[in-house]
Chains A and B, each alone.
Chain A
Amino acid sequence: MNMENELISARKQLDSTAHALIRTDLQLRRSNESLERQLQLLHALHRVGMLITSSFDMEVILNALAESMVRDLDFEKSGVILLDRQGAKVIQSAYAGFSAREFLYFLDHLGGVLNDSTVGREEFSVQNMTVASPEWREFMQKMSVESMILLPIRIKSDLIGLIMAGHISAALRLTQAERSFFGMYAYQASTAIENSRLYEALGRANLTLEENVRERTRDLVQANEQLKDLDNEKSNFVSLVSHELRTPLTAIKGFVATLLQYNHDIPEDKRLLYLNILNSETDRLTRLITELLDISKIESGRQEIVWKPVKLPAVTQQVFSALAANAGNVQLVMDFPNDFPQINADVDKLEQVLVNLVSNALRYSPPYGVVSVRGRRYRDGVIVEVRDQGQGIPFGHLEKIFEKFYRIDIDVNRKNPGTGLGLPICRGLLNLHGGRIWAESEEGQGSCFIFTLPFNLDKGQQVPSLKSA
């Protein structure tokens, strides 16, 4: 009986040891499994980290993320989407395990997913078929998953994408370690995506910079060419001005010297002639200097325009009156309609233009010819023609006459030397008003100088330069 009791007691003790053994083993095994799972997750994180940080190619990154969810993290299906800056539209995606049809369904119904407050707010969202809302259940059924995890990818607080992964036949229960892991995983993904975006932006900025440098270099080359042209122009101008100044000065010097040396030997009539020549050359010199100052002001942009309403017919009448003495037997005719409009302009400058054009017309007009000034209105302003009946301007010179000091080598010019600055000044002044001037002529048929003036020139706008007019 004692032995039987001892046996029973021994068996009980053995059984009790077995209980302790199993329970200890279970605890050890669970701890071990937990450690191994954490190692697996760390390995997965390391692996995907290596893959996604070794590339700036967004496609490579998204594919690596999608594939890592099924390869390393035990999901059967996964998808990754990248949203635009507003977080509203899918701009890129990748998937693994899903059929194309299932993933398209996901993309089509993404709006509902994104609007879900849990996805918008939480670090991740887990959905299990058995406890999901009817909407989520339908969503998961269509994608043939039993459970899923949604990891929003954020940069700061902005939603820039989403990783979604699902099990086709199992519920998803996350341990605390797994929760932390998925937070890190999403962070890793967001860092890689942000790096890729920055890299892309940097590439774009580099391209823009290169383009800017090329553009600036082009501008500099162009500006340099312009400077060279201007330098040439300046040299030519100085040479021309010297020449033009020397002509009257030479005449003045010659006659003054003659008068000084032979004062008493010169008959009265010749002395008078010499003094008239001196007077005329001095006037020419004065005119030349005035016009040089005018052209200089216009070209340097220092010419000021005093805007006022101007009645052009009245200005023309004044000009005619002033030049009537020079007209001789040439008839001055003006033709403006009654409703000819007023325009905003600098009255003195327009008078200067008309004096120049009408003087020229008178100079080239044959005896008993007619010089007419005709004005009319057109859609955006007024147009004025100054016509003479002179010998006309050869076609090849029609534009050149607006260049400084350009004169056609004809008898009239030789007999009536001008400064060669009148027409460039006219063009300059009209350009400052936003107008244009050009000449039309046929040899032997007279010339017509036409200028336009706009109604509504924006005073602030840059007026065309002399060259581009």
Chain B
Amino acid sequence: MAVGTSSSANVYLAGQEAAQLMAQQLGAIPHLTLVFASLRFADARLLNGIMSVTEGAPLAGCTDAGGINTSGPVRRSVTVVGFKIDHGFASVGAGMGISVDPEAAGEELGKALKSAGTPRLVLMFPDGISGSAEEIVAGLQKRLSPGVPLAGAASGDDFLFQRCFQFCNGKILSDAVVGAALAGEFSAGIGIRHGWEPVGRPFRVTKALGRTVMELDGRPAIFIYEDYLGIRYEDMDKSEPFPHLASTYPLGIYLQGFPEHILRQAIKVGTDGSLLCSAGIPEGSEVYLMFASRESALQAADRAARDAAEMAGRDRLKGALVFCSVGRQKMLGSEFQGEIDVIRNALGGSGIRLGGFYGYGEHAPVRVKQNGQEIIKNIYHNESVVVVGLGG
């Protein structure tokens, strides 16, 4: 695994430069290329620049809200991650129209990824604004073996919450899910944590439909924010867009077996005071407003990295993909660089290569209890950090 970054103002040259740096580090043309870029790089010229170096190697990726490379977080730039896979294969694919039929889009992606063989690890990058991540995962899993771990993150758009883009080979897509499948002789371990804690009293979801929570404790769902933040919804957007606020104070739901609450971020408020969330919250469940300190967030990052390293095998670990929630970046403020340092240290220090991005939702498998049995379940998360440790 190798990583290259560029922030050149010229889109084509930025792609070319980042890919050249990556190929130089890798010492070869990669078998798979992942691309994470700021919104201004959502342009076919970027992919042309990259593919002019990678000689058309399979490419998947998306726009982000900040990139991550070995030295730390980067802004307004493009990050290219290249993989060389021994005795294996890599394939990429896309599923379209996730706002209309996310499950079908997931299935379409799964079909494309499985066409080359059974993968050991699937990375997925859905649109971070449209579509239900859970349904995409459901569709994808219809085509993949149940044990295949899914990791990744939802595309971002520099924290604007307007429109995200996905990359698949030479194409720029939107309202889509793209993914990459890897198979071969490598080790992988995945860690996921967030560090948020419930604060205040629990609220019961009294009315919900799909991703929309209409009522909490019989009142419009927005009430939870109005009450705790002390700001009327009409005034919230005046200081900062609502999704920004909600990413710092997400909603948490209890999941049996998982050491933390599962977080859900509200991304839009309906005229009736309902909350459109990044993923569904079942009716009848108990939700909390969640709160994190910088210390708890950094501890969570350390924990996620250690879990990933142990699962992949510390001796074999060469690098890691890091998918971070943009909410963490916002919450950590000027210390968000520190989080990547914590992860690098937990993985083994400066010899470990890092690549990834800040997005609008994370995907990672977690161990949960279902009907008294412990199972591995691919779940969509918010405000979390996912570390995918990769070893040779």
Q: Which segment, of B92-100, B223-231, B304-312, faces chain A? A: B223-231
Q: Does B166 reach chain A (CB closer than 8 Å)?
A: no
Report the separation of the CA atoms of residues A323 and B11 in the bound assembly, to the nearest whole angstrom.
Answer: 100
Contact A29 B248, beta carbon cutoff 8 Å: yes
A66 to chain B, nearest CB (A): 7
Q: A21-B291, A29-B331, A36-B334 are in contact. Are A74 and B228 (CB under 8 A)?
A: no
Task: Say whether B249 faces chain A, with CB atoms less than 8 Å apart.
Answer: yes
Q: How far is the CA of A97 from the CA of B289 in the complex (A)?
A: 40
A75 to B158, CA, bound (A): 10
| Chain A residue, CB-CB nearest to B227 | A19
When chains A and B are docked, how far (Å) is the Cα of A76 from the Cα of B157?
A: 11
B200 in the interface (beta carbon within 8 A)? yes
Give Cα A74–Cα B40 distance, bound, in whole angstroms: 9
**Whole-angstrom distance from the CB of B165 to the nearest CB of chain A?**
10
B9 contacts A67, C-beta separation under 8 Å: yes
Using Cβ atoms and an 8 Å threshold, which residues of chain B touch A18?
199-201, 228, 289, 291
B277 to chain A, nearest CB (A): 19
Q: B193-210, CB under 8 A of A: which get 1 and which 0?
A: 000000111000000000
Q: Does A324 contact B (CB under 8 A)?
A: no
Q: Give the CA-CA distance A33 to B249 in the complex, in Å.
A: 15
Question: Are A22 and B228 also in contact (CB < 8 A) when A29-B333, A167-B160 are?
Answer: yes
Interface residue? A433 (CB, 8 A):
no
Q: How large is the interface on A (under 10, 10 to 19, 20 to 34, 35 or more residues)?
A: 20 to 34
- Interface pair B230/A74, CB less than 8 Å apart: no
Total contacting residues, chain B, CB less than 8 A: 30
Q: Say yes or no: A170 contacts B162, CB within 8 Å.
A: yes
A74 CB to nearest B CB, Å:
7
Number of cross-chain contacts by CB at 8 Å:
76
Does A296 interact with chain B (Cβ within 8 Å)? no
Asked if residues B9 and A97 are in contact (CB atoms below 8 Å), the reply is: yes
Question: Which of B76, B157, B200, B248 is A15 in contact with, Cβ under 8 Å?
Answer: B200
Does the CB pair B291–A71 fall under 8 Å?
no
Pair B200/A97 contact, Cβ less than 8 Å: no
| A216 in contact (CB, < 8 A) | no
Contacting B at CB under 8 A, from A1-38, are 11, 14-15, 18-19, 21-23, 25-26, 29-30, 32-33, 36
Q: Which of B314-369 contact A (CB under 8 A)?
A: 330-331, 333-334
Q: Give chain A interface residues in 91-146, CB to chain B under 8 Å.
A: 96-97, 146
User: When A15-B201, A21-B199, A36-B333 are in contact, do A169 and B160 touch as well, CB less than 8 Å?
Assistant: yes
Q: What CA separation (Å) do A63 and B9 show in the bound complex?
A: 9
In the assembled complex, which residues on chain B have CB atoms less than 8 Å from the CB atom of A11?
201
Q: Which residues of B contact A67 (CB under 8 A)?
A: 9
Which listed residue, A21, A22, A29, A96, touches B9 by the CB 8 Å rule? A96
Contact A70 B40 (CB under 8 A): yes
Q: Which residues from 70 to 125 on chain B have a C-beta closer than 8 Å to any C-beta of chain A?
A: 76
Chain B residue nearest to A175 (CB atoms) is B239
Q: Which residues of A contact B249 (CB under 8 A)?
A: 22, 26
A417–B65 Cα gap in the complex (Å)? Answer: 110
Taking CB as reference atom, which chain B residue is nearest A16?
B200
Assess whether A168 is interfacial by the CB under 8 Å rule.
Answer: yes
Question: Does B16 touch A at the CB level, under 8 Å?
Answer: no
A32: which of B10, B229, B333 is its contact (CB, 8 Å)? B333
CB–CB A23/B230 < 8 A: yes
B200 — which chain A residues lie within 8 A by C-beta? 14-15, 18-19, 22
Does A284 lie at the interface of the complex (its beta carbon under 8 Å from any beta carbon of B)?
no
Chain B residue with Cβ nearest A67: B9
Beta-carbon contact of B40 and A168 below 8 Å? yes
Interface of B is mostly: mixed
B230 x A169 contact (CB < 8 A): no
Q: Is A427 an interface residue (CB 8 A)?
A: no
A154 interface contact, C-beta 8 A: no
Find chain A residues with CB under 8 A from B10 CB.
96
How far apart sit A32 and B40, CA to CA, in the bound complex (Å)? 27
User: Across the interface, which residues of A come within 8 angstroms of B229, CB to CB?
Assistant: 22-23, 26
- Bound-state Cα–Cα, A15 to B7, Å: 46
A63 CB contacts on chain B under 8 angstroms: 9
A436 within 8 Å of B (CB atoms):
no
In the complex the two chains form, is A70's CB within 8 Å of B9's CB? yes
Q: Which positions 188-244 of chain B face chain A at CB distance < 8 Å?
A: 199-201, 227-230, 239-240
In the complex, A77 has a CB within 8 A of chain B:
yes
Report if B171 contacts A (CB, 8 A): no
Please, what's the 1-or-0 string for A40-61, where 1 marks a CB less than 8 Å from any CB in chain B? 0000000000000000000000
Give the shortest distance, in Å, between A435 (CB) and chain B (any CB).
Answer: 73
Question: B333 and A33: CB pair below 8 A?
Answer: yes
B-contacting residues, A70-98, CB 8 Å: 70-72, 74-77, 96-97
Tell me whether B143 is interfacial, beta carbon within 8 Å.
no
Q: How far is the CA of A96 from the CA of B9 in the complex (A)?
A: 6
User: Which residue of chain A is the closest to B11 with respect to CB atoms?
Assistant: A97
CB distance from A349 to the nearest CB of B (A): 80
Structural contact, B40 and A22, CB atoms closer than 8 A: no
B39 in complex: contacting residue of A22, A66, A168, CB < 8 Å: A168
Looking at B9, B162, B229, the one whose CB has the most chain A CB atoms below 10 A away is: B9
In the bound complex, residues from chain A placing their C-beta under 8 Å from that of B163 are: 169
0/1 string, B238-281, CB within 8 A of A gives 1: 01100001001100000000000000000000000000000000
Q: In the assembled complex, which residues on chain B have CB atoms less than 8 Å from the CB atom of A76?
A: 39-40
Q: A170 touches which one: B9, B160, B199 (CB < 8 A)?
A: B160
Which chain A residue shows the least CB distance to B161? A170
Alpha-carbon separation in the docked complex, A18 to B10 (Å): 48
Q: Which residues of B contact A39 (CB under 8 A)?
A: 334
Pair B9/A71 contact, Cβ less than 8 Å? yes
**Cβ A74 vs Cβ B158 within 8 A:** yes
A21: chain B residues at CB < 8 Å are 199, 291
The distance in angstroms between the C-alpha atoms of A169 and B230, with both chains bound, is: 30
Are B239 and A169 neighbours in the complex by a CB distance under 8 Å?
Answer: no
Residue of chain B at shortest CB distance from A32: B333
List the B side residues contacting A26 at CB < 8 Å.
Answer: 229, 245, 248-249
Residues of B within 8 A of A66 (CB): 9
Minimum CB–CB distance from B73 to chain A (whole Å) comes to: 13
Q: Which of B76, B201, B248, B331 interacts with A70 by CB under 8 Å?
A: B76
B160 near A77: Cβ-Cβ < 8 Å: no
Contact B9 A169 (CB under 8 A): no
Shortest distance between the CB of A51 and any CB in chain B (Å): 12
Instruction: Provide the bound-state CA to CA distance between A97 and B39, in Å.
Output: 10
Residue of A nearest to B237 (CB): A173
Which residues of A are found within 8 Å of B7, using beta-carbon distances? Answer: 71
Nearest CB in chain B to that of A73: its residue: B76
B residues less than 8 Å from A97 (CB atoms): 9, 11, 40
Question: What's the nearest-Cβ distance from chain B to residue A97, in Å?
Answer: 5
Tell me the complex Cα distance, A36–B336, Å.
12
Collect the chain B residues with CB atoms within 8 Å of residue A167's CB. Answer: 160
Complex CA gap A66/B160 in Å reads 21
- A72 CB to nearest chain B CB (Å): 8
Instruction: Report Cα–Cα, A25/B289, bound state, in Å.
Output: 13
User: Could you tell me the distance in whole angstroms from the C-beta of B74 to the nearest C-beta in chain A?
Assistant: 11
CA distance A371 to B173 in the complex (A): 108
**CB within 8 Å of B: which residues of A?**
11, 14-15, 18-19, 21-23, 25-26, 29-30, 32-33, 36, 39, 63, 66-67, 70-72, 74-77, 96-97, 146, 167-170
16 contacts between A and B (CB under 8 A): A14-B200, A15-B200, A18-B199, A18-B228, A22-B229, A26-B245, A26-B249, A29-B333, A32-B334, A36-B334, A39-B334, A63-B9, A76-B40, A96-B9, A96-B10, A170-B160
A-B pairs with lowest CB-CB distance, top 4: A18-B200, A169-B162, A96-B9, A76-B40
Q: Which residues of B contact A (CB under 8 A)?
A: 7, 9-11, 39-40, 76, 157-158, 160, 162-163, 199-201, 227-230, 239-240, 245, 248-249, 289, 291, 330-331, 333-334
